[in-house]
């Protein structure tokens, strides 16, 4: 008999959050589970890591005494790094699941999200990873509507693998199960946050600022995660950590053919391209 898959589970809402308990429920059906999650909410931490203070890790029974679980004083990315470098003791997970997050991580939110950054950190280590988010911000959110989609994707990835260096960003609309139309594989919408800061004063008269804002979707096309969610579908965006603007690479070759600034040395390839262009 083959060994059961090893599944690493984490999140950014903290080890006592309802979303991580839902993920663990599904993960246990497919393999052995290790949970490493923050000991307090760490939303919007992005890919932050802790370098200026010690990180504390201790065993936790928040998810049941029969679950191997640890709570960490650091960020979601710290949790994955510690799991890989310390707690797994040389083992490599077959899959990493992060979430289920309270609220959307569609579109530009992937850059701010601790949930998706934890999954991305695992993908950097070559571990197939899925970040799950539920468009419900209530503390008492019912995650049962998410479970069939979590189950389906875990089963699919364990059976078929995932493209190297890739991860899935999955968002689930806040709808009754019977009203969700299915799952759409799509691209990340080109959207942004327009920030506003509310200014106030503390009791000592010192000014402080509270961040607020609104989400603006400037993408009118119908192949995006934002559109899929608006139409009642679960969105799945295959994502990468490569932030290169590949569309600009070709057009920027002209820079290599220009005058050489003082103190800048061109590579041999750049010099050859420059000479070729000068022939025309």
Average pLDDT of the segment spanning 76-98: 94
Closest C-alpha to 185, from 162, 158, 165: 162
- Rounded to whole angstroms, the Cα distance separating 104 from 141 reads 13
Annotated binding site for a divalent metal cation, which residues?
12-13, 43, 101
pLDDT at residue 260 is higher than 70: no
- β-pair type (95-102, 6-10): parallel
**C-beta neighbour count of 191 within 10 angstroms:** 17
User: What's phi and psi for 33, nearest 5 deg?
Assistant: -120, 135
b/e per residue 166-185 (b: at least 16 CB within 10 A): ebbbbbbbbbeeeebeebbe
177-209 pLDDT per residue, tens: 999 999 999 998 888 888 888 999 999 999 999
Binding-site members are: 12-13, 43, 101
Half-sphere exposure of 32 (CA within 13 A, CB side): 11
Can you list the domains of the chain with their CATH numbers?
A: 6-189+221-243 (3.40.1210.10), 247-278 (no CATH)
Token pair for residue 25? 């429920």
- φ, ψ of residue 47 to 5 degrees: the values are -100, 30
* Segment 58-70 mean pLDDT: 94
Q: Is the pLDDT of residue 239 over 70?
A: yes
Q: What's the rounded mean pLDDT across residues 263-278? A: 62
Q: Stretch 222-245: mean pLDDT, rounded?
A: 92
Does the N-terminal peptide bond of residue 150 adopt cis geometry, omega within 30 degrees of 0? no
Tokens describing residue 198: 């509310």
The rounded distance, in Å, linking the Cα atoms of 145 and 175 is 8
> How much is the pLDDT for 79?
96
Q: What is the pLDDT of residue 258?
A: 59
Calpha distance 262→36 (Å, rounded): 51
């Amino acid at each position: 008999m083959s060994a059961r898959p090893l599944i690493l589970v984490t999140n950014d809402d903290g080890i006592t959050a309802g979303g991580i308990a839902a993920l663990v429920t599904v993960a246990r059906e497919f393999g052995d589970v290790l949970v490493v999650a923050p000991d307090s909410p760490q939303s919007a931490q992005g890919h932050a890591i802790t370098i200026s203070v010690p990180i504390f890790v201790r065993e936790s029974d928040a998810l049941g005494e029969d679950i191997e679980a640890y709570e960490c004083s650091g960020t979601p990315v710290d949790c994955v790094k510690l799991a890989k470098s310390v707690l797994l003791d040389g083992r490599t997970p077959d899959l990493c699941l992060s979430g289920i997050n309270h609220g959307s991580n569609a579109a530009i939110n992937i850059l701010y999200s601790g949930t998706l950054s934890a999954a991305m950190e695992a993908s950097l280590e070559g571990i197939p990873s899925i970040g799950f988010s539920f468009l419900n911000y209530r503390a008492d959110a019912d995650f049962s509507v998410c479970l069939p989609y979590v189950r389906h994707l875990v089963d699919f990835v364990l059976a078929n693998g995932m493209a190297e260096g890739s991860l899935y960003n999955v968002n689930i609309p806040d709808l009754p199960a019977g009203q969700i139309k299915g799952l759409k594989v799509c691209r990340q919408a080109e959207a942004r946050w327009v920030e506003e800061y509310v200014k106030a004063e503390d009791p000592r008269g010192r000014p402080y600022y509270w961040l607020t804002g609104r989400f603006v979707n400037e993408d009118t096309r119908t192949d995006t995660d934002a559109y899929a969610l608006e139409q009642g579908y679960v969105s799945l965006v295959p994502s990468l950590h490569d932030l290169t603007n590949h569309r600009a690479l070709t057009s920027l070759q002209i820079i290599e053919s220009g005058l050489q600034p003082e103190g800048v040395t061109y590579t041999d390839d750049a010099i050859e391209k420059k000479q070729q262009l000068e022939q025309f």
